[in-house]
Amino acid sequence: MDSPNIPLNGPPLSPALTGQQVCFAFDNTFARLPEHFYARLDPTPVAAPRIVKVNVELARELGLDADALTSEHGVAVLAGNRVADGAEPIALAYAGHQFGYFVPQLGDGRANLLGEVVSSDGQRYDVQLKGSGRTPFSRGGDGRAALGPVLREYIVSEAMAALGVPTTRALAAVTTGERVLRDTALPGAVLTRVAASQLRVGTFQYFAARGDGEGLRMLADYAIARHYPQAAQAKEPCRALLEGVVARQAQLIAQWMLLGFIHGVMNTDNTSISGETIDYGPCAFMEAYDPAKVYSSIDHGGRYAYGNQPRVALWNLARLAESLLPVLAQESGSEEAGLVAANEALSIFEPQFEATHSAGLRRKLGLVAEREGDAALAENLLQCMAANSADFTLTFRRLCDAAAGTEGDAGVRALFDDPAAYDGWAAGWRRRLEEEFADGQARTAAMRRMNPAFIPRNHLVEAALDAANLGQDFQPFEDLLAVISRPYDERPELERYSAPARPEERVLQTFCGT
């Protein structure tokens, strides 16, 4: 069987030409795969595109000319009104388990992959328009996106990037001059997002569900070439691919947990093969710590609650392993051996998650050395926070000051319903800190690099979206973006952005807005 002949991760291509006409130096590999992997079609033009935002820094990292992107031609490309030179727009086929139920065909119902670019460090990225019109995968949908969800994805994905979490990025947002009908008529928008790739667990499920063994093997080869090139040298490359995805997902979910991030729709079609956070819908950062916390209006059973995320990720990875069974069986010599390989690969998840999560918790508490009892110390704090509705982000941020001396305690105590509950825990924490070498100042600085001051708090996100939706006022969006771009910096003058919502500001539910 031929594997796709693609020069991945090779030397960077020549950077994009500057000027009005050329925005991207596309070098497309996915569009070289067989035609049944996608549908070829151009984005559907919109009435009156206007630029909201171009991510100048990301553009630079990708070797793109930000000025060309904001030119009339550039905006037309970002709105889907023109197809850039070298683009080969396609909508990708995939399937997926949505809330536990298998849907054999989902696919890009409102997105067009324009093509791939290679950044100056040789990394390949997909450039995709979201909200760019109907496709053969749209089912009953209109193919469009509303401005609110587009700005939400822009803010939250950029926050995740700044926090150091693998994620798709937002390159640009444009309004369309058209309305989209949801519960009410809302301004329409198109998001340009950049991803390591658009390959999902659901992409593998699509071919597995059709019994398309050859498609499955081509897809596995493609995923290996693009994301796990070392797996190509392994004795059992598909097994090495699965192991790689399991490990990266375990690390990713651990990072989410350490930041209080709740994805909200961890369906298998929203679980990436590259290990990035993808598909920002009703996602949210938790305020008061509560393992059972759910924000999404459509997650009635709490399937995707904060504390369920590791378990759900492993469930999703089991669906990937299942899909790969024919390939695993072939390369290991028998169905039985393939099954053993799949289970062994999945067994990597738990220890990898635990290792990343507990190391992260230790660092969040200012502990460098590893001691027995550290996990219990962290767990006790979390239990105490849950019992006292303590704000997740701010508790850890204020511990950075408390680590330098007891003067810092007042700020942490104030976050607990019963401040004395913190005192009891802090006494044990201080005894443990005495076993560390670092001095107070250095420890505080190190802890601040683990415990952000600024997350995109839900009420601030909503306020930014409301201003944009109702008054075409994008200033709150710009301001919030500037704040969350430097989440770990100490900026006392921005206290308004680090404070939890007041009771009347609290956001109780988030919506995916599709």
Q: Can you give the binding site for ligand AMP, defined by CB under 6 A?
A: 106-110, 137-138, 141-144, 265, 269-270, 279, 281, 512, 514
How far is the C-alpha of 195 from the C-alpha of 278, rounded, in Å?
8
Structure tokens at 355: 């290792």
Q: Which is nearer to Mg ion, 49 or 149 (CB)?
A: 149
Nearer to ligand AMP, 325 or 512 (CB): 512
Position with the least CB separation from Mg ion: 279
Helix (H, G, I), strand (E, B) or coil at 91: strand
> Which among ligand AMP, Mg ion, none contacts residue 138 (Cβ within 5 to 8 A by kind)?
ligand AMP
Q: Whose Cβ is closer to ligand AMP: residue 267's or residue 393's?
A: 267
Closest distance to ligand AMP from the beta carbon of 175 (Å) = 16
The DSSP string of 154-185 is HHHHHHHHHHT--B-EEEEEEEEEEEEESSSE
Q: Please identify which residue in the block is written with the tokens 């910096």.
A: 489
Reported as half-sphere exposure (CB side, CA atoms, 13 A), residue 512 has a value of 14
Backbone angles phi, psi at 408, to 5 degrees: -80, -10
Take residue 76 and report the two structure tokens written for it.
């037309």
Alpha-carbon gap, residue 190 to 172, rounded angstroms: 8
Rounded least distance, CB 156 to ligand AMP, Å:
14
Contacts of 329 (CB under 8 A, 6+ apart): 335, 337, 338, 339
d(C-alpha 62, C-alpha 51), whole Å: 19
**Could you list the residues that contact Mg ion (CB under 5 A)?**
269-270, 279
**Residue 281 interface partner, choices Mg ion, ligand AMP, none, CB cut-off 5-8 Å depending on type:** ligand AMP
User: Which DSSP string do the residues of 319-339 spell out, in sequence order?
Assistant: HHHHHHHHHHHHHHSSHHHHH
Given 65, 269, 391, 409, the catalytic residue: 269
User: What residue 143 binds from Mg ion, ligand AMP, none (CB within 5 to 8 A, per partner kind)?
Assistant: ligand AMP
158 binds, among Mg ion, ligand AMP, none (CB under 5 to 8 A by kind): none
- For residue 281, which of 251, 253, 304 has the smallest C-alpha distance? 304
Name the minimum Å distance from CB 80 to ligand AMP: 14
Q: Please confirm, yes or no, whether 269 is among the known catalytic residues.
A: yes
Locus of tokens 């904060």? 306
Cα separation of 273 and 214, whole Å?
A: 19
Closest to ligand AMP by CB, 169 vs 364, is: 169
Q: State the nearest-atom distance from the C-beta of 158 to Mg ion, in Å.
A: 19
By a kind-dependent CB cut-off of 5 to 8 A, residue 106 interacts, out of ligand AMP, Mg ion, none, with ligand AMP
Closest approach of Cβ 190 to ligand AMP, in Å? 12
Q: How far apart are CA 199 and CA 93, in angstroms?
A: 10
Nearer CB in complex with Mg ion: 253/384: 253
Cβ distance to Mg ion smaller for residue 106 or 241: 106
CB of 443 to ligand AMP, least distance (A): 41
Q: Which does 141 bind (CB under 5 to 8 A by kind): Mg ion, ligand AMP, none?
A: ligand AMP
Which positions are catalytic? 269
